[in-house]
Each structure stands twice: as C-alpha cells, then as structure tokens.
Amino acid sequence: MHRAPAVLIAAASGRALAASARRGGYAPLVADFFGDEDTATAAEAYIRLDHGLSDGMRYDRVITALERLATPREPAGIVCGTGFEDRPELLSAIARRWTLFGNNLAAVARTKEPLAFAELCHECGVAHPDTSLTRPPDPKHWLAKRPGGAGGRHIRDAADSQCTGGSFYFQRRVQGSPVSALFLADGRRTVVLGFSAQWSAPTSSQPFRYGGAVQPAVLEPETAAAMTEAVQRLGAMVPLLGLNSADFLVSGDVFTLLEINPRPGATLDIFEPAEGSLFAMHVSACQGALPATPPSYERARAAAIVYADRSIPEFPALDWPPWTADRPVVGTAVDDGGPLCTVFAEAATITAARQLAAQRGAAILAIASGRPS
C-alpha cells in the first residue's frame, strides 16, 4: 500500500500549510503555537510549541519538537512558515538537519534585513520607502517596525517613546491601499498567482493589526503588469524559492513595495486552487518546476481573522460552520484581543465576499462571547 510522503511543517500557525499538504498528497508533521483542532486533524502528527506567542520560535523547543516528529518517519523535508525571519541560527540548524523546501538563510537575510532590502529594491528599480535604523529627528511621517515582525502587530507610530534601542527600524509613511502579490519562484523565474487586497483590524495599541484579505485586488492591467515585473526582478536577484508574498501600497497607477515575505504567508487559503495544492506547488517550485500558468479562480474569495473582544477563560464547544478554520480546542483560554478563528467567504464580487466574511466573523464572535447573534 502506498504511503504518503511525510513532510515537516513549522510555523506560528501551521493549519493552512497542513491542510494544503494533505490535499497535495503529503502526510504533514506539524509544530505550531496554537494547537487548533483542525490543525491536529489535518496533521499526521502534531506538537504544540508552548509559550510560542510570547517567546517566538525558541531554538531548543523547535528543534526538540521537530526531532520528535521526524523520528518515526523519514520526512522528505521541511516547510517553515511565519516565525523564522528573525531566527537565523534556528533556520540554519533546521536546514542542516532536513531538506529545506523554501528560502535559505541568505535569501531570508536579504529580504528581511531592512537596509539590505532597501538596497535590493534600489538595485532592481522598485520604489521602496525611505528606511533608517535610527529614529528620524522629526518622526511625524515615519513608522517604527520590528525586524522579522508579521501580522502588523509590531508596527507603531515612530513617535512612540517605546520605539528605541535598536529593536525597531523606521520607514517613511507612504500613501496607498495595501495589496499583496502571492508568487512562486524557482530561483530564476517567478509566477505571480494573484493579487489580494488586505485590511487591518486596528486597536489603540496595534493600529496595523492584520484583519484579512480578499482576492482578486482591483488593479489596472498596466499596474498589475508593472507590479508583476517588479516581483520577477526581485525574485531573480535574491534569488527566491517557493511560495512568497510581496506587500505593496498602491495609489492609482503608482505602487511602493513595503516588504517581501520569503515564505508561505497569510493568503494561502484564498488562493488554494480547486484542484491541486499550493503546498505541492511550493515543493515543486523549490525543486525547479513552476506551473505553466497560474490557477484560475471563478469567484472572489475573502478570509478574515476574528479577534476576541474579551477574555475567554475556557473556549466553549461550538458547532463550527464549514466556513471557519483555526478552531480553538474546547477549554482553551483566549486572551482579550487574541485570535479566535478564521472565517472564509466566496461571492460573485469582492465587495460581497468581504461583506459576507465580516457578517460571519460577527456571528462567530457573538456566539463565542455568549451574546445573541
């Protein structure tokens, strides 16, 4: 009897990668921070990385967990998601132990080290905000960001007195709407799978917290073509491998590249093809094979994060609708402002898809918080 090849997955949240790996014919062995019930269901084996949200990817915990997962099987390799951009020694250790399906340390450093990335954009002729490692004398028009941060939680106004001491870098504010490109790269060539529009779910202390995304983004064909060419130049110059995303701000036909995320990111769910698997495409791209054409999508798709609006000491048992994911295990404590789940929506238009996702998110929040919907 044929046995699906095992593959290790390590990420802050491994559910989307694990589900896509299953669809692609792999047996996922997953380590992540949340231990959501659908992650454990999709995984062949699973380990929760304790204190991950507060401590990040700790070398000892991650390596121990991956070795435990790998021991009964001989994994074909490992895919690392969010959480490794500021952990070069950990990424290096992983790459020495297992075949890394993704970008190596040099590629991650070139895209995530602020000044190196600014220089890369300059070399490729791609507009990028002014960047500084020290807070500008007049920080009014600047933002402070943590190197390797993800999900928008780390972004602050540069005038914030806490944004000092070398733990932040500074980027000049740029006007525009956030648009992200999801793309595959094989080290020489790049295929853009699509563009998504993104939005934030701000709080008083986290004004840029990630809220969700919808695809396709509304772009003029000439602008989309120019953004695609920019991604292709950068992908070849680094060079990049596998699934990556590029975050832009777009104003009319003018676009500015904010960052490249050199790993599978937050929009996997809304770009997962009806047939096949983004995970399998990622592995193939890392082995040098790109699809001749990107997948096509008949309807608009949206995904939104639902955040708790109060502390939930013990998450209740819910009859989860099929349009939800990242479902907390019954009894799990959820902090005020912590993620509850992800909701999905499909519709004929992007406006309708986003509105439906918002309605579904509000319904889940009301149920989980014990209020009538």
Mean pLDDT, the chain, rounded, equals 94
3-state DSSP assignment of residue 151: coil
Its domain, for residue 327, covers: 300-368
The count of domains in the chain is 3
pLDDT band at 153; cut points 50, 70, 90:
confident
Q: How far apart are the C-alpha atoms of 144 and 170, rounded to whole Å?
A: 5
> In this structure, what CATH number is given to the domain that contains residue 153?
3.30.470.20
Comparing 223 with 146, the larger pLDDT belongs to 223
End-to-end CA distance of the chain: 48
Query: Does pLDDT of 373 surpass 60?
Result: no
Q: What is the pLDDT of residue 165?
A: 60
User: Do residues 271 and 219 both lie within one domain?
Assistant: yes
Whether 292 is covered by a domain: the verdict is: no
Q: What is the pLDDT of residue 94?
A: 98
Mean pLDDT for the stretch of residues 32-40 = 95
Q: How far apart are the C-alpha atoms of 220 and 217, rounded to whole Å?
A: 10
The pLDDT tens digits for 286-339 are 999 999 889 999 999 999 999 999 999 998 888 999 999 999 999 998 999 999
User: Do residues 115 and 67 both lie within one domain?
Assistant: no
For the chain, what's the residue count? Answer: 373
pLDDT band at 25; cut points 50, 70, 90:
very high
pLDDT band at 163; cut points 50, 70, 90:
confident
Q: Cα-Cα-Cα-Cα dihedral of 40, 45, 49, 53, to 10°?
A: -30
User: Do residues 202 and 248 both lie within one domain?
Assistant: yes
Q: What is the pLDDT of residue 213?
A: 98
User: To which residue do tokens 């960052």 refer?
Assistant: 259
Sheet holding 190-200, edge to edge: 254-261, 241-251, 177-186, 190-200, 210-215, 300-307, 339-347, 324-325
User: Do residues 135 and 203 both lie within one domain?
Assistant: yes
Boundary residue ending a domain (76, 101, 126): 101
User: Do residues 89 and 117 both lie within one domain?
Assistant: no
Whether 322 is covered by a domain: the verdict is: yes
User: Do residues 357 and 332 both lie within one domain?
Assistant: yes
> In this structure, what CATH number is given to the domain that contains residue 76?
3.40.50.20
> Beta-strand (E) ranges in the chain?
6-10, 27-32, 45-48, 78-80, 131-132, 142-145, 156-157, 169-172, 177-186, 190-200, 210-215, 241-251, 254-261, 300-307, 324-325, 339-347
Mean pLDDT for the stretch of residues 137-145 = 92
User: Do residues 311 and 350 both lie within one domain?
Assistant: yes
Q: What is the pLDDT of residue 340?
A: 94
Residues in CB range of 181: below 8 A, 6 or more apart: 192, 194, 195, 227, 228, 231, 245, 246, 248
Comparing 125 with 366, the larger pLDDT belongs to 125
Q: What is the pLDDT of residue 303?
A: 98
Query: Does pLDDT of 1 surpass 90?
Result: no
User: To which residue do tokens 């917290």 refer?
Assistant: 209
Q: What is the pLDDT of residue 149?
A: 75
User: Do residues 278 and 215 both lie within one domain?
Assistant: yes
User: Do residues 200 and 128 both lie within one domain?
Assistant: yes
pLDDT band at 284; cut points 50, 70, 90:
very high
Q: What is the pLDDT of residue 147?
A: 85
Boundary residue ending a domain (58, 79, 101): 101
Query: Does pLDDT of 258 surpass 80?
Result: yes
Q: How far apart are the C-alpha atoms of 72 and 27, rounded to whole Å?
A: 13
Mean pLDDT for the stretch of residues 5-24 = 97
Share of the chain above pLDDT 90, in %: 81
Comparing 88 with 128, the larger pLDDT belongs to 128
Query: Does pLDDT of 2 surpass 90?
Result: no
Q: How far apart are the C-alpha atoms of 144 and 326, rounded to whole Å?
A: 29
Share of the chain above pLDDT 70, in %: 98
Beta-carbon count within 10 A of 258 CB = 20
User: Do residues 272 and 218 both lie within one domain?
Assistant: yes
Q: What is the pLDDT of residue 80?
A: 97
The pLDDT tens digits for 174-196 are 999 999 999 999 999 999 999 99
